[in-house]
Amino acid sequence: MSTQSETASGYGFGGRLNWLFGGAIGGLAGSLLFGGLLWVVDPEIVIETIPAIYGFDPAQTVGWTFHLLHGLVLGVVFGFLVTRRPILGTITADTQIGFLARSGPLVRLALAGFVYGLAVWALLPVIAATVWAAVGGIADPGFPAMAFEGLVGHLLYGTLLGALFAVFVDIESDAERTDAPFDDADESA
């Protein structure tokens, strides 16, 4: 993996919990971007639907608060996941794919964030919200689970989350001590 000229340790967070701060910052910024998209496309999702999920009356501040809180929590989960050895080893592994072989942590973590955003979209609004609405007897949950803007919003969220995580968290030192989980399988064959 190529290195970038500037490392996150020069202006980022250090220590054992750096993933916590990087995930929180990236998650908040990503949820602001996603919320902005929702606000432009259909502000009722933020004003009415998000508060209604938790039993609150429609209110702009309540909707934004919960949306940002979701982003923060999911950002911290992302930070935790990508700093675990199997995932970190996969993200930073040497590869034969041209643009990935030449890319640094910023691109790789942004791509990991993109995949994370897709996974969050598939698990939360598509599966969990649909089941929650069915179990709760809600005929119309207030938003289409498979809406295109929801998919785009989650992908934007994840991409910005991953990119900001790379800016604020130095993963290169940990990556040097981590092997890709599939390297052992290649050597034994």
Checking if the pLDDT of 8 tops 60, the result is no
pLDDT band at 62 (very low <50, low <70, confident <90, very high): very high
For the chain, the structural domain boundaries read 23-179
Q: How far apart, in whole angstroms, are the C-alpha atoms of residue 114 and residue 103?
A: 16
- This prediction has a pTM of 0.80
User: If 0-12 CB within 10 Å is exposed, 13-18 middle and 19+ buried, where does residue 177 land?
Assistant: exposed
Q: Which residues pair with 13 in a beta bridge?
A: 169
Checking if the pLDDT of 107 tops 80, the result is yes
pLDDT tens for 29-59 read 999 999 999 999 989 888 988 888 788 898 8
Q: What DSSP element (H or E) covers 23? A: helix 18-41
**Residues composing the chain:** 189
User: If 0-12 CB within 10 Å is exposed, 13-18 middle and 19+ buried, where does residue 144 land?
Assistant: exposed
